[in-house]
Structure 1
């Protein structure tokens, strides 16, 4: 079972930028919208561009990288919704359309959690929306939200915030979001938006080798 983490936030708050200090040799990026990473050296990361749920699940299961990042997860749902905007759906067909979109989003997360091998880390980057004064992962309609709390499927949810022109991750819930992290994993409610430091903390907390393929040094 992979350790799956949500990284949530508004556009421009540093979700994609947080990959900057990760070792590209250890990372596979599923780039949903096929956009360049916003920092020098971003082209060094191995990327597969697709918004197709079945293809994403296939990559999750086949990737040899110990760290897998899905960038802009909400567009798996958003692209599918907009892509059918010029079609007319009525009655059962309209209902079924939302069912399919909800299933596709859920099945990606379910694959990451249940089927990706142990000790791998999957980071799912996604936008947020406001719902009754509380920020949460952005979805399409109520079909998914009424049945499943996506954040409830994972142990850790980080959210971006900008304070005094500096970018951070929130690690603890403030009553107005869905942020959460394991007890004592982080020493502060705000940490730099550095996904490599987050990955180090996860590996240390759970006793995971950062690179399981690395040969031990000879004495």
Structure 2
């Protein structure tokens, strides 16, 4: 089972920028938003010639990339980033715009659910990072709640965050870009005692902390 991480936040909250610390030689990025990355020099690090970057929101193409991660790319990459889960949902909905009937909405939900579920079935030494937009809602009493923005009520009922043990809320606070790691009127969560409540938006550091946490868990299990 792979290590899966979900990052969500508003536009400009540092979600994509958090990837800047990853090793380009060991990372493959799927840019579903097709907007490029967000730091100086990224085109030299990630491009078609290096075969570590592609722009697509096609579900079959992403599933094909999963298969390559299990096969010919197994020794090349240890991190896979799907940057634009929300865009994948929207684009799939647009492709099905002329479809009619209830089944359309079931298929829309199943499509995204499968991408997330299948990622968990990839090899153990692979980390899969999903990036999505957030939605903040308020009820009549003024209570505020921030969660992943989805493509419809069926996905809202399923709750995509339930498929992850690590869900990071990207925020910009007084000029600082951080991840919130525990629920604060949100669906943010992480393994107990793995992180402080707020941490820098450094994806390499996040993955390193999770690996160390898992190793400590394994050592504890062996001594019992």
TM category, shorter: 0.7 to 0.9
Residue of structure 1 in register with 2:219 after alignment: none
Note the residue ranges of structure 1 that are not aligned, 5 or more in a row: 209-219
What is the RMSD of the two structures over their aligned residues, measured on CA atoms?
Answer: 1.6
Q: 1:136 aligned to 2:144? A: no
For residue 2 of structure 1, what is the aligned residue in structure 2?
2
Counterpart residue number, 1:201: 209
Q: Corresponding residue for 1:145?
A: 156
Structure 2, unpaired ranges of 5+: 47-51, 217-224
Map residues 31-110 of structure 1 onto 2, 5 A cutoff. Answer: 31-43=31-43, 44-45=45-46, 46-63=52-69, 64=73, 65-85=77-97, 87=98, 89=99, 93-110=100-117
1:119-134 equivalences in 2 (<5 Å): 119-131=125-137, 132=139, 133-134=144-145
Deviation at 1:83, TM superposition (A): 4.0
Alignment of 1:165-204 (within 5 A): 165-174=175-184, 176-186=185-195, 188-204=196-212
1:117-173 CA distance string (max 9 Å, x none): 012111100001124531111111202222x11101111100011111111000111
Cα separation, 2, equivalents of 1:94 and 1:42 = 43
> Taking structure 2 as the reference length, what is the TM-score of the superposition?
0.84
Q: CA deviation at 1:47?
A: 0.8
- Measure, in 1, the Cα distance between the counterparts of 2:172 and 2:105: 34
1:163 pairs, out of 159, 173, 188, with 173
Structure-2 separation of matches of 1:83 and 1:53? 11
Matches of 1:134 and 1:17 in 2, distance apart? 24
How many angstroms does 1:97 deviate by? 1.5
Stretches of 4+ aligned residues off by more than 6 angstroms? none
Count of matched residue positions in the alignment of Structure 1 and Structure 2: 199
Q: Distance in 1 between matches of 2:41 and 2:65?
A: 23
Stretch of structure 1 that moved more, 22-31 or 52-61: 52-61
